[in-house]
Structure 1
Amino acid sequence: MKKKWLLSIFASFMLVSGIGINAAEAATAEELTSTAKQYLGAPYKYGGTNIQTGIDCSGFTRYVFSQFGITLKRSSKEQYTQGTAVSKSDLQPGDLVFFNTSGSGISHVGIYLGDGQFISATTSDGVDIDDINDPYYWGSRYVGARRVAEFTTEQAEEVKEAAIDYSIYASRGEVATRLAQALNLDTSDTNSSFVDVKPEAKYAGAVTALQKLAVFTGDDNGKFNPGSPITRGQLAKVLVLAYGLELKGEAPTFADVPADHWAYEYVSILASNGIAFGKNDGTFGVDDYATLEHLDIFIERIQNLK
């Protein structure tokens, strides 16, 4: 699956010495969190610092912040000494959140995104988005947060007003979770045959249920890749199979989905039913990553079909 890596972002910073907060004069919280999301699905590697070949949790936060001229220390324990402490109730997008996953103090760090979500490099799913209050894992392991940068007031207000950050790319795990819920599937069986879907994962039941319906298939290595983003073409296939949609009349054509394209049938069916539409340039955006907004809108339109 293709990766979308960071576009050049031009922002100036005034760095404060010591362990105080960096004043990000030209940066916004959205720029930082959007940058972090560009790396969804990047592989995990203990001690790794390379976003393409493998990176660990503190390496990931360090790498993202470095794009904005902010230097973080190497380990999660060291990063916990930077900036200023922030209570859980006062978290803002861009804050660093810390967890005790080893039983011996700070051992994991991520970047808070807002709406109770954070992004981090995990041992199971690589760079992934999780719920900070997840009762099955993260919630009980949360330790605290640090603010290492102050973002512009204008952006802070915009983020505060947004109930959901719909710029988040839809990961395969999140698609499975929301789709299983929309279909009212029995998700009690969490024993998926995918080697990277552990029974205790929050999406395990949904993945297993959809796997039984042959909606989702893994890669050549038997992996589901729950943290990887899904493209609009792949999402079209998943929705067509999940809902048993059929071609309705003559489907519109798209410049980037010729008749011999693997997604042609699925895109045609989705478009012929008025579920998905193309772009102004005549393309479908078949290889573009789908967002949670795309997913929710498509599901709603399917449910409203007569």
Structure 2
Amino acid sequence: MQKKWLIPVFASFMLFSGLGVNSADAAASETELVSTAKQYLKAPYRYGGTSIQNGIDCSAYTQYIFSKLGISLPRSSSEQYSTGTKVAKSDLQTGDLVFFNTNGRSVSHVGIYIGNGKFISATTSGGVAIDSINDPYYWGSKYIGAKRVASFTSEEEVKQEVVAVAKEEVKSVSVDFSIYTSRGEVALKLAEALGLDTSDPNSPFVDIKPTDAYAGAANALYKMGIFVGDENKKFNPGSPITRGELSLVLVNAYGLTQTGEAVEFKDVPSTHWAHKFVTTLASNKVTLGIGDGLFGINDNVTKDQLSTFITKLQEM
């Protein structure tokens, strides 16, 4: 049985271009933050302590919770107060750090805002506990400000992302990669043909790990400006590549220019973004199209077509 993969059809596909707060790169949702923080309710308090089991103070607690979500914070409450962006009390969001003056001198207590006027912190009286930020008997009068040191994904944003993914899956098509080539394979074949140094696997593409087989090739082509990824810094190695997109890649990779009279194709009008690249390939006799005056601009590139293109370019 031939192996098939379901892949998303991307609305836009960029291949080549001349073109103080942690974000949710830490990639946690508000729910994840609150859930993590609440895991340690009633953990014992200890001045200067850094252990959930043996005792922890307020700033060590916030530092610990944020570290669990991939975000670094300085150790003391005063240092944490010096980070991030100042936030008005009326604009508090889940995950903001809230600060209090409990000693009458300066910042001396920090907690994590968890929504609905509540915050969680390591307190001297009850260990890790949830309190009201507007508590008229204590915290309300001690409050001095808040800082946003990270942005967490809200529940509404999570829902929107789920819907977006579902819509992409509806638009998915079945691509048989025993016949068609992927962008990762294009990178490998092209880097080999160009004799590029592929020893550095640390590319800027967020969807390629250094251990991936095509990591070095993708990075080498990135350094040449041939592949720069899409607007989300993704290479999309498991996606197919169209003949129009490949024409752009090949023209730039081999530095081709128009030779003689331009060869026109019925499905590539002069207004098409790939017109220059397709006609340049054709004028250099790298392609004859797919017949009947067509180039097959939106057709996915097969393995055989990729091999033929590269062989002709190597023979030039």
TM-score, with structure 1 as normaliser = 0.48
Quick one: higher RCO (CA 8 Å, sep 6+), 1 or 2? Answer: 2
Computing the radius of gyration from Cα coordinates, the structure with the larger value is 2
Taking structure 2 as the reference length, the TM-score comes to 0.47
